[in-house]
Structure 1
Amino acid sequence: MQNKNICFVIHSLQAGGMERVMSELVNYFAATEKYTVHLVLYGIKREVFYEVSKRVLIHKPSFEFDNSKRLFHTVKTIAFLRKTIRAINPISVLSFGETWNNMVLLSLLGTKIPVYVSDRAQPDKSLGKVHDFLRRKLYPRAKGVIVQTQKGLEVFKIMYTHSHFKVIGNPIRPIADRQLKREKVILMVGRYIKIKQQDVLIRIFANLNAEDWKLVLVGYDHLKQSNQKQWEELAKKLQVEDRVVFTGKQEDVEKYYLTSSIFAFTSASEGFPNVIGEAMAACLPVVAYDCVAGPSDLIISGETGYLVPLNDEIQFTQKLQYLIDFPAKREKMGWKGNEFISTFELIDICEQFEQFIVPNTER
């Protein structure tokens, strides 16, 4: 019996949380050997940072996207998506990405191909007038809408007239103990973009009573933002430049989780922050801003870490200082976090996706 085609669509597989989840999903579906798995990469940058199974068939446009002719190449990309996905003739399509989902839904208007979309950012975040309008009109046409958190579900039910929602968190990979020594390090992992607010964390770090501690920032400049240089200057101005480490892009992020003692996350906007889950999987207590969605689904405040009101730098500083001063408490929180995050095990999450996007008759 011939395997059924299933199609996953994303703009790229560069280093990032959304992209990592997509890579894990296509690898899971390929490993079941029940489907012929197709992955369509159609964005401006189509590099593949994450490992993808050789069983996955990857489709890319034959043309480069020219931003100077944005409208023309957007239409050309929509035509590519329509032609490619119709030729695949899948039992289901799963699309990731906020503005990108609009493009996929537009490309398949008038077809009977079932399209499932998943938003991966702050649920109430405006994408601009055009994309907000398109989302209101197009999302109700999707076969199903996947949200990452309970808060996201509450927001989306108000925003969109759709009856087929599903809450599915991200898979959190287990992080094996390598018997590495914990160091006096506060860690943050995230791209160097303004919304992540690493500059805020640098200010907070400078106010801590922790002269023998370091702040390690794993990430890289992204979205045409050149923040690292500015933030290095900020660290110098605050006289902590010798204790603030910018690592750049890292393939082995696990090493940093396993050699740090506290995870700090100052992001002001999230969908589902994978890095918080990964830190918990590595037995790190987490201090994070309680932004609209994400951290509150992962952190049990006071037990596995602390949720701090958004942009309350004083309280954030106090919580970090407490964990610095009481190593037994941070160790206890770390182990509780590790136990809690096991509910987001990779296979369980992938099975939830499969049950939602694949009809019973096709499994």
Structure 2
Amino acid sequence: MKLLYCIRATYNPGGMERVLFNKVNYLVEKLNWEVVIVTTDQKGLPSFYSFPEKVRAIDLGINYADDNGNGIIKKVTGYLRRRRKHKQALTELLIKEKADIVVSLYPSESSFIPDIKDGSKKVLEIHYCKFFRLQYGRKGLLGAIDRWRTCQDERIVRRFDKFVVLTNEDRGYWGKLPNICVIPNAAMFVADRYSDVSNKRVIAVGRLDYQKGFDRLIQAWEIVYKSGKYNDWRLDIFGQGEWKEMLQGMIDERELNGSAFINKPTKNIGREYSESSMLVMSSNYEGFPMVMIEAMACGLPVVAFDFKCGPKDIIREGENGLIIRNGDIKALAEGMMRLMEDTENRKRMSLNARKIVDTYSEKAVMDKWIGLFNNLTAK
């Protein structure tokens, strides 16, 4: 079997990149399948995760991100120009590679890849919820574009041989599509030991941008800190991104410098999980939070906003974590303090959190992917 995956880039330490690495590693090492990874914006940077040597990586040099700093007119015209170049380059590559399956991880080629007649089956794999474009609440022309593109998404996904979403919640938002199916991410045990939830440390992990909502977390942490009861606890945020200076400014302004810290991404995130006592997720939206299930697999209970999508599928309220009404900063702080206060409850939730691997084991998840690929090629 030959698979070709399309993704914007692999140099970020994000959840989508980690999921792709885990899947590719399984398919290549266990099944000896041939895998090619095609990027548009790699810019010569090394992948954050070390893919197997047998995996070929091809960058098309489209560089959509180069237009991000332009005004709306230049941004739109630049995107259309790069998209034409992208379609031509990818068409030539697919005809040359002759893959059995081509998987788009929902970057720009999703709008045209079903039109490429290279003989491969086309699969769309979305790592966000259906409404991710609308979560920003943008106004004016940009807001109109977001709403238009959301409507276009409904048309685009129908054109693929298979459309894969990550949660049952998200599947419900898309309606009764004939080609839709749910395959979650796998809960990988990434540490060498479980957390005993004794360290007075809260951890948060993700890109420093709007999606992850760490500004909301810092506001909640201020409430925790200024309660005066938990000044021996600390908050560690691991990530990189365009919000770094703004978030650090929030920490400085609130005089949280001695208790809240922003750290660079680490390739040994399992060690950080095992040295923490809970994970907090303040995201505005997700597709399926990889960080959540990885942390739970390491024994961390989770306090999370009820964002779309993920918490409803993963967290059992009061058993392995707490679900907080989305945007309720005070309630998020109270959820953290509830677990800080009760060591025995943390330990109980920790034991329950570990069971996440029973539902989302690597083998169970990969069996679903392998079955999907085999069924498509059999047809």
Asked if TM exceeds 0.5, the reply is: yes
Cα-Cα RMSD:
2.4
* Aligned-partner SS, 2:307: coil
Query: Within 2, Cα distance between the matches of 1:185 and 1:139?
Result: 42
The CA distance in 1 between the partners of 2:190 and 2:97, in whole Å, is 36
1:36-65 Cα deviation digits (max 9, x unpaired): 222222236564111111121222226766
Is residue 114 from structure 1 mapped to residue 114 from structure 2 by the alignment? no
Distance 1:19 1:175, change over 3 A: closer
Distance 1:341 1:306 in 2: 19
Q: Deviation of residue 289 (structure 1)?
A: 0.3
1:179 and 1:353 map into 2 onto residues whose CA distance is 28
- The SS at the match of 2:123 is strand
Q: Distance in 2 between matches of 1:331 and 1:103?
A: 50
Deviates more, 1:28-37 or 1:204-213: 28-37
Deviates more, 1:59-68 or 1:279-288: 59-68
Unpaired stretches in structure 2, ≥5 consecutive residues: 68-73, 135-145
| SS state at 1:72 partner | helix
Of 342, 353, 362, 2:358 maps to 342
Matched, 1:136 2:135: no
Cα offset, 1:233, TM superposition: 2.1
SS of equivalent to 1:242: coil
Q: Structure 1 residues 100 and 243, CA, compared in 2 at 3 Å: closer, same or farther? A: farther
DSSP-derived class of the 2:235 partner: strand
5 Å-filtered alignment, 1:57-206, equals 57-61=56-60, 67=67, 69-97=78-106, 99-106=108-115, 108=116, 110-126=117-133, 128-129=146-147, 131-157=149-175, 162-178=177-193, 182-206=198-222
Q: Which amino acid aligns with 1:153?
A: R
- For 2:377 and 2:111, locate their aligned partners in 1 and report how far apart those are by CA, in whole Å: 28
- Choose from 273, 294, 304 the match for 1:257: 273
Partner SS, residue 175 of structure 2: helix
- 1:309 and 1:46, CA in 2 relative to 1: closer, same or farther beyond 3 A? farther
- CA separation of 1:114/1:229 partners in 2, compared to 1, >3 Å: closer, same or farther? same
Which amino acid letter does the alignment assign opposite residue 82 of structure 1? T
Instruction: Select 1:297's aligned residue among 291, 310, 313.
Output: 313
User: Residue in 2 aligned with 1:215?
Assistant: 235
Equivalent residue pairs, number: 351
Pick closer, same or farther for the CA change 1:289–1:341 going to 2, 3 Å: farther
TM-score, with length taken from structure 2? 0.85
Is the 8 Å Cα contact of residues 99 and 131 (structure 1) preserved in structure 2? no
- TM-score of the two chains, using structure 1 as the length reference: 0.89
Structure 1 segment 280-319 matched on structure 2, within 5 A: 280-319=296-335
Amino acid at match of 2:58: H
Whole-angstrom distance in 1 between the partners of 2:283 and 2:62: 35
Note the alpha carbon deviations across 1:150-171, whole angstroms, 9 max, x for none. Answer: 011101126xxx3021111101
Q: In the alignment, is the contact (CA less than 8 A) between 1:98 and 1:119 conserved in 2?
A: no
Write the letter of the residue equivalent to 1:87: K
Instruction: For residue 132 of structure 1, report the CA deviation from its aligned partner.
Output: 3.1
C-alpha contact (below 8 Å) 2:293/2:356 kept by paired residues: no
CA 1:113–1:134 in 2, change beyond 3 Å: closer, same or farther?
farther
1:49 matched residue in structure 2: 48
* TM-superposition CA deviations, 1:112-157 (whole Å, max 9, x none): 4210101111222337255335423332110010010001110112
Matched residue, 1:358: 374
User: How big is the shift at 1:306?
Assistant: 0.3
State the alpha-carbon separation in 1 of the partners of residues 200 and 104 from structure 2: 41
Which of 22, 35, 41 in structure 2 is aligned with 1:24?
A: 22
2:9 aligned partner, one-letter code: S
CA distance in 2, matches of 1:92, 1:144: 11
Unaligned residue ranges in structure 1 (runs of 5+): none
Q: Distance in 2 between matches of 1:361 and 1:70?
A: 33
Counterparts of 2:202 and 2:255, CA distance in 1: 17
Distance 1:90 1:71 in 2: 27
Cα distance, 1:137–1:250 mapped onto 2, change above 3 Å: same
What letter corresponds to residue 79 of structure 1 in structure 2? Q
Contact 2:301/2:321, CA 8 A, preserved across alignment? yes
Alignment CA distance shift 1:269-1:55 (3 Å): same
Quote the residue 2:4 is aligned against: 7
Query: 1:44/1:25 Cα in 2 relative to 1: closer, same or farther (>3 Å)?
Result: same
Is contact 1:196-1:266 (8 Å) kept? Answer: yes
* Change over 3 Å in CA distance of 1:64–1:165 after alignment to 2: closer
How many Å apart are 1:253 and its aligned residue?
Answer: 1.2
- How far apart are the structure 1 equivalents of 2:246 and 2:113? 37
Deviation at 1:104, TM superposition (A): 3.1
Contact 2:195 2:298 in 1 (8 A): no
